[in-house]
């Protein structure tokens, strides 16, 4: 039986911050939780269930949360983090989902005495099917890691790495991965229309095919390559299509190039 969640401080309640907050409320998050979010519309769904303030300066005096979740844009870190430095200390863990911002950089902005966990979730968190990879910075205690694991597991699966540098390719593959899948549905729909299918049918077919294939992949213990081969009859239509998609300069090469570009950008954001 898990202990109740403690009151939290959430900085930023956009799509990901809001998805995480919804998951935590399902676990019984106390109403004393404070959410810092400039847009009142972003927290409308949580009215009466948490305390909303529009700026860090409005955080109630004396509020000392066990965990502070940094869900703001990485470009806003230089302004937001120094304003939170007075809350940094051994009893508080900062859980950051800001892309690219590394532990050393965040620690410097927080005054050098912060316990920080860096994590990268993805947007299926909105339906509790997210996948998050996290890295614990120096001095993070087992209890703090355990609390953050509970928070991340509330929105899907959580995994941990012991090298911070791995978070950059995680950001490229898992963090951005839903966009690549959505692009697949988008281009399949357009290709179907170009072959004469009605737009409504093309859209429905592409979305259902991507969603169903993802569900099959999740339910199967077989390797993705084997599942692909199971669909591919020798000499058939799928084999002809894959001969195009699997050319060296097509999907395999383009995906490798795309992941490398996103990984590089994640490192650049560390600034």
Query: How many other CB atoms sit within 10 Å of the CB of residue 84?
Result: 21
pLDDT at 141: 97
Distance CA 242, CA 190 (A): 18
Domain at 99, CATH number = 3.40.50.720
Q: Is residue 1 part of a domain?
A: no
3 inside domain: no
Question: Looking at the structure, do residues 137 and 24 belong to the same domain, yes or no?
Answer: yes
Q: Answer with the one of 167, 195, 226 that is the final residue of a domain.
A: 167
Answer yes or no: is pLDDT of 1 > 60: no
Q: Summarize pLDDT for 41-56 with one digit per residue, the tens.
A: 999 999 999 999 999 9
Is pLDDT of 271 > 70? no
Domain housing 17? 8-167
Sequence-separated (6 or more) residues with CB below 8 Å from residue 183: none
Q: Both 161 and 86 in a single domain? A: yes
Residue 2 confidence class, pLDDT cut points 50, 70, 90: low
Written as six digits, the tokens of 250 are 């097509």
What are residue 9's DSSP bridge partners? 34, 68
pLDDT at residue 40, as a whole number? 93
Which pLDDT does position 113 carry in this prediction?
84
Under 8 Å between Cβ of 8 and 29: yes
Residues 161 and 231 in one domain: no
Residue 2 lies in a domain: no
146 and 43 in a common domain: yes
Partners of residue 160 on adjacent β-strands = 134
Q: What is the largest CA-CA distance in the chain?
A: 71
d(CA 15, CA 41): 12
Residue 83, strand partner residues? none
Domain boundary residue among 116, 137, 167? 167
Q: Which DSSP category does 172 fall into?
A: I
pTM, two decimal places: 0.90
Mean pLDDT of 127-144: 95
| Contact present, 92 and 66 (Cβ < 8 Å) | yes
Q: What local confidence, expressed as pLDDT, does residue 112 receive?
A: 82
Judge whether residue 3 has pLDDT over 90.
no
Q: How far is CA 180 from the centre of its chain?
A: 14
- Tens of pLDDT, residues 199-216: 999 999 999 999 999 999
Is the CB of residue 8 less than 8 Å from the CB of residue 24? Answer: yes
68 shares a domain with 33: yes
| CA–CA gap between residue 134 and residue 70 (Å, rounded) | 13
Q: Are residues 121 and 183 in the same domain?
A: no
Q: Are residues 115 and 206 in the same domain?
A: no
In the prediction, which pLDDT does 177 show?
Answer: 95
Helix or strand run (H / E) with residue 40: none
Same structural domain for residues 89 and 215? Answer: no
pLDDT category at 160 given cuts 50, 70, 90 is: very high
Domain boundary among 167, 201, 216: 167
Q: pLDDT by residue (tens digit) across 69-115?
A: 999 999 999 999 999 999 999 999 999 999 989 999 999 999 988 99
Q: Rounded to whole angstroms, what are the CA distances from 196 to 182, 190, 237?
A: 22, 10, 17
Q: How far apart are CA 216 and CA 238, in angstroms?
A: 18
């Amino acid at each position: 039986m898990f202990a109740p969640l403690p009151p939290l401080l959430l900085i930023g309640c956009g799509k990901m911050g809001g998805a995480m907050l919804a998951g935590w409320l399902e676990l019984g998050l106390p109403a004393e939780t404070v959410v810092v979010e400039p847009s009142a519309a972003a927290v409308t769904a949580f009215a009466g269930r948490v305390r909303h303030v529009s700026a860090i300066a409005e955080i109630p005096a004396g509020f000392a949360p066990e965990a502070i979740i940094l869900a703001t844009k990485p470009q806003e870190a230089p302004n937001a983090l120094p304003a939170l430095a007075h809350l940094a200390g051994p009893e508080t863990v900062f859980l950051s989902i800001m892309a690219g911002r590394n532990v050393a950089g965040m620690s410097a902005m927080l005054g050098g005495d912060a316990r920080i966990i860096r994590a990268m979730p993805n947007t299926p968190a909105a339906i509790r099917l997210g996948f998050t990879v996290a890295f614990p910075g120096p001095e993070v205690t087992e209890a703090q890691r355990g609390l953050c694991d509970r928070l991340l597991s509330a929105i899907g699966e959580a995994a941990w790495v012991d090298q911070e540098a791995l978070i950059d390719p995680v950001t490229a593959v898992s963090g951005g991965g839903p966009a690549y899948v959505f692009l697949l549905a988008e281009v399949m729909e357009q290709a179907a229309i170009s072959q004469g299918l009605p737009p409504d049918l093309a859209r429905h077919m592409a979305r259902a095919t991507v969603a169903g294939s993802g569900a099959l992949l999740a339910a199967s213990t077989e390797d993705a390559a084997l599942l692909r081969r199971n669909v591919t009859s020798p000499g058939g239509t799928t084999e002809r299509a894959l001969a195009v998609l699997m050319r060296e300069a097509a999907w395999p090469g383009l995906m490798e190039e795309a992941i490398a570009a996103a990984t590089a950008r994640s490192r650049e954001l560390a600034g």
